[in-house]
């Protein structure tokens, strides 16, 4: 599937630009195969983004608790000196 916003561009020039940019690594002759590939890549992206969200999740209470602990250790160090 080729998409170009330039209405004055010919099909041969569009194909030449598309080929020079090496945009399509997957070249299927069937439209269903292209749609299936796009859907599988989108599902893959969704799964990876959800995994990142779950593993990088940090609540405000945890941030504040860590800050409180650091502050208390600093204060106790200052009081010892």
Cα four-point dihedral sign 40, 4, 16, 32: positive
Mean pLDDT by 10 residues, the chain (81 residues): 60 66 57 82 89 76 86 90 74
What pLDDT score does 24 carry? 55
**DSSP for 35-61, written as a single string:** HHHHHHHHHHHHHHHHHHHHHT---HH
The structure's pTM equals 0.39
Tokens 């940090």 sit on residue: 58
pLDDT for the residue numbered 73: 92
């Amino acid at each position: 599937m080729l998409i170009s916003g330039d209405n004055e561009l010919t099909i041969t020039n569009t194909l030449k630009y598309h080929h020079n940019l090496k945009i399509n690594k997957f070249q299927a002759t069937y439209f269903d195969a292209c749609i299936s590939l796009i859907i599988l890549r989108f599902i893959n992206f969704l799964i990876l983004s959800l995994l990142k969200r779950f593993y990088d999740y940090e609540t405000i209470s945890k941030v504040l608790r860590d800050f409180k602990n650091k502050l208390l250790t600093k204060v106790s160090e200052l009081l010892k000196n």
